[in-house]
Amino acid sequence: MKRDEVLEVIPVREGMPEGHVCLLIRGHFVQPHVKKFRFAVERLLKEGFHHIEVDLSQTDYIDTSGLVEFLPAYQTVKEANGTLKLTNPRRLVRHILTSTNLEDILEIGPSMETQSDPVDIRSLDDDAME
């Protein structure tokens, strides 16, 4: 397996408000690695982090199993009276998220640290897509 196909799920607490955590997803978010994400979310909830920001800035690719994994994670966090937000997706990943209408269910935007306006992928023309 190539290095870029390995998935790393890294919790980052530094710079986050109390009860908040950033979960950095690095690499290819594909089967069979999606369980790493599920276990990380469950562990963070048990540790008292109920507001989870999933940073996709280093996610190179996401397949359907990765997309589907966001839904039970969102539901689990919501049931714990928390929030799950996807942030900083690269252009290809944002395109995949919006073409599957996940932005209708999940919040997708900038990180809490940057607080800049999210990019609306629908405003980009098809020729500009990478």
pLDDT number for residue 6: 78
Distance CA 104, CA 76 (A): 18
Query: Does 3-113 carry CATH code 3.30.750.24?
Result: yes
The mean pLDDT value for 64-92 works out to 95
Which residues face 54 on adjacent strands?
Answer: 23, 86
Say yes or no to pLDDT of 85 above 80.
yes
What are the phi and psi torsion angles at 128 (to 5°)?
-85, -10
Say yes or no to pLDDT of 100 above 50.
yes
Distance CA 79, CA 3 (A): 35
32-70: per-residue pLDDT in tens? Answer: 888 999 999 999 999 999 999 999 999 999 999 999 999
pLDDT number for residue 117: 40
Closest CA to 37 of 56, 60, 17: 56
Q: Which two tokens stand for residue 69?
A: 């994994």
The mean pLDDT value for 9-13 works out to 94
Q: Which two tokens stand for residue 130?
A: 């990478």
The mean pLDDT value for 91-95 works out to 90
DSSP 4-43: GG--EEEEE-TTPPTTEEEEEEEEEE-TTTHHHHHHHHHH
